[in-house]
Structure formats: C-alpha cells, structure tokens
C-alpha cells in the first residue's frame, strides 16, 4: 500500500488522541525560536510515546536528548503516581525554555532535568532502574548510549530509539557517510543481540522499539 506521506500523516493524526494544548504551544514555539525544529517528536509520535508510557505505567523513565521537552511531557503522561523522568540535554541554551515548558506542563514535579553530556551525567543516575528509556540524541552514539543504560533497564522494560531510518538513507548503499554507517551497524547489532527483542516502526524517521528480555 502506497499513500502520499502528507495525506497519511494527516489521517493518522486525525485518528488518534488530540494533541494537548500545552504540546501545541511547545511545538509552535519550537518552530519559531529553535534551530532544526524538525527534531521535535510531534503530534503522532508524541501520542505513541504517551501510549507506551500509559501501558507500562512506569515508576522511572530515562530520556537522553530533551530538545524542547515535547517528548518528555508525552512520556510523563503515563508515569505511576510517584514516578519520575530523568531527562538529559546537552545544549545549555535550551535550559530556560525547558524550565518554562515543564512549569506549564502539569508534570514539573515529576521531571528531573540535567544539562550536560549524557556520558558524564548518567553515572550520577546509575543506581536507578528504569522501566522505559528514550534515546533521541546524537545518532553516532546510539550504540554507546544503549550499552551504557541497558543494565539499568528492568527485565521487560523498553528502550525506544528515534531517527534510525535516516530518511531512508540506510537503505541505499551509496550513502556511506559516517553517521549513516553507524546507524546501519546499530540496527544490525540490536537485531542479533540475544539480550533483547526489537522491531522498527516506520513512522516519522523510524522508531526502534527494544524490549529487554526476562532472562
């Protein structure tokens, strides 16, 4: 089945939960004020993240790559009563915008924001066990992030990794840029990793769902 991308996206968005007003505002301001606004998760993927979170009702979520906080809030929607999300953003210029967005989200008391490199921040959090992790940072380090956090994901927990199709470039061998090669390697390594099971959802720019096995 082949459908025009724009029509399909509109149809999908019209047949899922409406985008909450606070997220509409964040999306609007992201496109007005921030470079590369296309990095935001957006309505449909945001509802998917929220859906996963509501299914698992996690006590703890880890996010690597906060950007303007859209996905953070989507994931926070499904947190257990006393649950919290730790989110790490490398860009200090986004800190004030993030604090403002979180303060209006209704989840500010559940969100712990860390500014800095994930490889420096995560050791401070390594005593925690997470139900869900969302990796949406620099793609060349996807596998390093995965290995860094896997032991801290509970059996049966999920790791979600964004942008793993790279606009279809990973399918075409003429694209041998370093980041594309590393994405291919990441996808191949996860597929044969006996510790997990995975599938790729071809939505937006590709979302990999990884479930840690209960060994």
- Confidence at residue 172, expressed as pLDDT on a 0 to 100 scale: 84
DSSP class of 120: H
Cα–Cα distance for residue pair 168/155, rounded to 1 Å: 31
Class of domain 5-212: alpha beta
Counting DSSP H helices and E strands in the chain, the numbers are 8, 7
Smallest CA-to-CA distance from 211 within 201, 144, 199, 137 is with 199
- The pLDDT tens digits for 134-192 are 999 999 999 999 999 999 999 999 999 999 998 888 888 888 888 899 999 999 999 99
Place of tokens 């993240």: 49
Distant-in-sequence, close-in-space partners of 79: CB < 8 Å, separation ≥ 6 = 53, 57, 58, 59, 61, 85, 107, 110
- Confidence at residue 166, expressed as pLDDT on a 0 to 100 scale: 84
- 42-77: b or e for each residue (b if 16 or more CB lie within 10 Å)? bbbbbbbbbebbeebebbbbbbbbbbbbbbbbbbbb
Distant-in-sequence, close-in-space partners of 173: CB < 8 Å, separation ≥ 6 = none
pTM for the structure as a whole: 0.95
The residues that bridge with 85 in the sheet, in sequence order, are 61, 111
Share of residues in the chain with pLDDT > 70 (%): 98
DSSP class of 162: E
Domain boundaries, the chain: 5-212
- Confidence at residue 4, expressed as pLDDT on a 0 to 100 scale: 62
- Confidence at residue 7, expressed as pLDDT on a 0 to 100 scale: 86
- Confidence at residue 215, expressed as pLDDT on a 0 to 100 scale: 74
- The pLDDT tens digits for 6-41 are 788 889 999 999 999 999 999 999 999 999 998 899
* Residues 196/211, Cβ–Cβ less than 8 Å: yes
Give 6 or 77, the one with higher predicted confidence.
77
- Return the number of other C-beta atoms located less than 10 Å from residue 22's C-beta: 17
Mean pLDDT taken over the chain: 94
Confidence of residue 3 (pLDDT cuts 50, 70, 90): low
- Which pair of tokens denotes residue 93? 């210029």
- Which pair of tokens denotes residue 88? 């790490």
């Amino acid at each position: 089945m082949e459908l025009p991308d724009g029509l399909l996206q509109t149809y999908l968005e019209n047949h899922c939960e409406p985008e909450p007003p606070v997220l509409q505002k964040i999306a609007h301001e992201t496109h007005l004020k921030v470079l590369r606004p296309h990095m935001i998760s957006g309505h449909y993927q945001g509802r998917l993240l929220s859906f996963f979170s509501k299914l698992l009702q996690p006590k703890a979520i880890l996010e690597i790559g906060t950007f303007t906080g859209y996905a953070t809030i989507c994931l926070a929607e499904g947190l257990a009563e006393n649950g919290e999300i730790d989110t790490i953003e490398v860009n200090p210029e986004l800190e004030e915008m993030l604090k403002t967005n979180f303060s209006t989200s209704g989840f500010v008391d559940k969100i712990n924001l860390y500014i800095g490199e994930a490889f420096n921040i995560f050791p401070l959090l390594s005593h925690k066990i997470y139900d869900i992790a969302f990796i949406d940072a620099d793609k060349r380090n996807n596998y390093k992030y995965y290995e860094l956090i896997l032991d801290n994901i509970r059996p049966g927990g999920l790791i979600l990794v964004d942008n793993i199709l790279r606009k279809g470039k990973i399918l075409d061998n003429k694209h041998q840029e370093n980041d594309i090669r590393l994405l291919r390697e990441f996808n191949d390594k996860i597929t044969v990793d006996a510790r997990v099971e995975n599938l790729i959802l071809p939505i937006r720019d590709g979302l990999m769902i990884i479930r840690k096995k209960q060994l």
